Amino acid sequence: MNIRSKGRLFCTLLTVSAVFMWGAAIAAAQGTPAPGANQAFLYEMDEDAVLLNSAGHVLVPDPSGKSPTGLVDATNGAVGIPAVRHATSQLQGVAALGSILCSVPQLVTVRGNECTVIATGTDDVQLVIDPKTGQVIPTSGKVFGTYAVVVQLDNPTDSPEFPVQTGTFSGIITFQPPLPLGFVSEGTFTIDGKPGSFPFQAVFRQPFTRSAKGSAKGDVLTHRGERGEKVSRTDASARRTQAFYLLDDGSLQRVRPDERAVGWPTVRFEITF
């Protein structure tokens, strides 16, 4: 396995969701992102992710700085080669009235025509290392979890919290680097108390920032930093810098203030039933 540099790989590992794109145009009409008929939009509020090697052992940063990947096996101290990205996320968003997650007007909590949905999702994505670049490339893996449709309980000001419909979901998520997109196929979800399961598919849009430094092919889209600037992860501006989603037609859509979690741009899951 040809890993060019510890620094490059370690940086890639820390931002394994970061990708590069060329020459996309910014969408002119931004509007308020909202699910269409029979859709739900969920946003990743937080994520707890770990890297595992082929033996299933957790990898941690190498305190000695000697590992060529910057990582070591937490169990035995061996050089860490990432094979799986295991992550659990908390999500919140809305489903359109009339969809299976917002079946009656009594459940509506947002904009008069949307229901609030929360979920806990876990995925196990297989990783490969590009021998030419040393970059870690996500491929595909299982995604599964639980969800709830919620309404207000005892505080009409904060977000809804009382479950009125619960269930489970599962599917296969596939990434197509260098696009900042993932696609869920073979999706099924259940409703507690009802027989059978229901199909769904989803697009997973990762936020990224846009650099003004480009090439003949167009501007380079980078994970963080405007105009090619390098923004420290600890810099207060890092979580508030302008960010974008890549749309299906190749245009860019700005991440809106209501698509952020404590300032950070969030991953957007667009689910179609």
Question: pLDDT tens, position by position, for the chain (273 residues)?
Answer: 444 444 444 444 444 443 333 344 555 445 567 899 899 999 999 999 999 999 999 999 999 999 999 999 999 999 999 999 999 999 999 999 999 999 999 999 998 999 999 999 999 999 998 888 888 999 999 999 999 999 999 999 999 999 999 999 999 999 988 899 999 999 999 999 999 999 999 999 999 987 544 433 334 344 433 334 455 656 666 788 899 999 999 999 999 999 999 999 999 999 999
Distance separating alpha carbons of residues 253 and 262, to the nearest angstrom: 20
The pLDDT, as a whole number, for residue 21 is 38
Distances (CA, A) of 3 to 8, 70, 132, 197, 223: 9, 11, 8, 44, 21
Helices (H), the chain: 6-14
Distance separating alpha carbons of residues 77 and 175, to the nearest angstrom: 30
- Beta partners for 172? 142, 185
The pLDDT, as a whole number, for residue 236 is 65
Which of 253, 255, 268 lies closest to 25 in space, CA to CA?
A: 253
Evaluate whether residue 182 is within a structural domain: yes
Evaluate whether residue 231 is within a structural domain: yes
Evaluate whether residue 1 is within a structural domain: no
**The two three-digit tokens of residue 78, written as one number:** 């061996």
Evaluate whether residue 245 is within a structural domain: yes
Residue-number span of the structural domain to which 163 is assigned? 6-272
Rg (CA), the chain: 20
Evaluate whether residue 219 is within a structural domain: yes
Evaluate whether residue 133 is within a structural domain: yes
Tell me: cis bond preceding 33? Omega within 30 of 0 counts.
Answer: no
The alpha carbon of residue 175 and the mean position of all alpha carbons in its chain are separated, in whole angstroms, by 11
Q: Is 107 helix (H, G, I), strand (E, B) or coil?
A: helix
Distance separating alpha carbons of residues 177 and 150, to the nearest angstrom: 35
Distance separating alpha carbons of residues 37 and 103, to the nearest angstrom: 12
Distance separating alpha carbons of residues 162 and 149, to the nearest angstrom: 8
**The two three-digit tokens of residue 172, written as one number:** 């296969």
Number of domains in the chain: 1
